Chain A
Amino acid sequence: MRPLGIATLALTLLIAAPPVLAGGEQVVVEDPWSRASIGTSRPGVAYMTLRNTGAEPVVVTGLRTDLAMTPMIHATTTDAQGVTRMSHMEEMEIAAGEAVALEPGGMHIMLMDLQRPMVEGESYTLSVIFADGTEASVEVPILGIAARGPSD
């Protein structure tokens, strides 16, 4: 192939496939925080805001941390009678340019099978895994057991 042909091919590829950021690069994690736990027998919790700065929707498909064997996204819902329940969300989509807030009484990260107690003042690394296989990692500070928000 002549040099011009290669250049043309490269140009064609660029036009056909505009740069798409991987989920792990286009999602910004803001205000992560956790409450301290008492021992390891009860599930822990983590909250944060996931902001999709990209032009494409992203889908969260999993979580990973060495703090808990089974971290999962839960949705707390309250019905018209005030009855609150938690349910597991297998996937969570974040639309382009949108942010999803995981906050008390709403969606949250449930940390099942804690491997060590969550101690106030310490922190741990949590990785959010996207459908394209990329990840975004964040250091989550552990606040007091009665903390009500990221600045408590």
Chain B
Amino acid sequence: MTRLQKGLWAAVAVAALGAGGLAVTVSRAPEVATSGASSVAAEFELTGHDGVVRTEEDFRGKWTLVFFGFTNCPDICPTTLAEIAQVMDDLGPQAGAVQPLFISVDSDRDTPMELAEYVPQFHPSILGLAGTPEQIEAAAASFKIFYERVPEEAAPDGYTMGHASQVFLFDPDGGFVRLYGNGTPAPEITADLRARIDAHG
């Protein structure tokens, strides 16, 4: 068993033990949020694509958009990155209040250097975050997200990844606000963020 496989199995075990499975918790996250008893949190220590180690504390004071993926993903990940890039462009001056974070769940392949080559191509404001298998596992547990390796013979290194595809929004105090489902159009996210930023003052 490779180190990554061990890590993933540990993540699955954590999922099975905690709250009856991560997947179930994620699907209920929006309800939980509106009831004010959210258990989704952003807790992580990861390395930015600029080489600087970051924790959730570094983003206090900003609305944070967090989403997950891997750079060997040519379909859904660029799609989400491009949507978020559009949101940041459309927000105009209000973009300064928002920090998008792209967390790679592919710790074996995605080093900070790989992310540095990839993430800024979509938008200079998006920060890529990489970590060791243990760091990614710990972050995933706090966000209550699921990820796994999917065998694919023809893919580089023989695998692709399955992963949560929603975008998580956290408020400037770090509290979980809501999920934007996979495929939410950029204008919808932009309008929602605008309203929240305006209301927050």
CA distance A87 to B152 in the complex (A): 8
Q: Does B183 contact A (CB under 8 A)?
A: yes
Given A41-B156, A81-B146, A145-B121, check contact A104 B181 (CB 8 Å). Answer: no
Q: Does B55 contact A (CB under 8 A)?
A: no
Interface stretch, picked from A12-20, A91-99, A105-113, A122-130, is A105-113
Q: Does B164 contact A (CB under 8 A)?
A: yes
CA distance A145 to B73 in the complex (A): 12
B162 touches which of A70, A85, A111 (Cβ 8 Å): A85
Distance in Å: Cβ of A62 to nearest Cβ of chain B: 13
Contact between chains at A83 and B82 (CB < 8 Å) = no
Given A82-B26, A108-B75, check contact A148 B83 (CB 8 Å). Answer: yes
CA distance A78 to B27 in the complex (A): 12
Q: Chain B at the A interface: mostly helix, strand, loop or mixed?
A: mixed
Q: How large is the interface on B (under 10, 10 to 19, 20 to 34, 35 or more residues)?
A: 35 or more
Q: CB within 8 Å of B: which of A59-110?
A: 70, 72, 74, 76, 78-88, 104-105, 108, 110
Contact between chains at A35 and B26 (CB < 8 Å) = no
CA distance A146 to B186 in the complex (A): 13
Q: Does A42 contact B (CB under 8 A)?
A: yes
Distance in Å: Cβ of A136 to nearest Cβ of chain B: 22
Q: Chain A at the B interface: mostly helix, strand, loop or mixed?
A: strand
Nearest B residue to A84, CB-CB: B165
Contact between chains at A86 and B27 (CB < 8 Å) = no
Contact between chains at B181 and A148 (CB < 8 Å) = no
Contact between chains at A72 and B154 (CB < 8 Å) = yes
- 19 A-B residue pairs with Cβ-Cβ distance under 8 Å, sorted by A, are A43-B72, A43-B74, A43-B156, A45-B74, A72-B154, A81-B27, A82-B27, A82-B181, A83-B146, A84-B162, A84-B163, A86-B73, A86-B75, A104-B76, A105-B75, A105-B79, A105-B182, A111-B74, A145-B78
Chain B interface (Cβ within 8 Å of chain A)? 23-24, 26-27, 71-76, 78-79, 81-83, 85-86, 117-118, 121-123, 146-147, 150, 152, 154-156, 160, 162-166, 179, 181-183
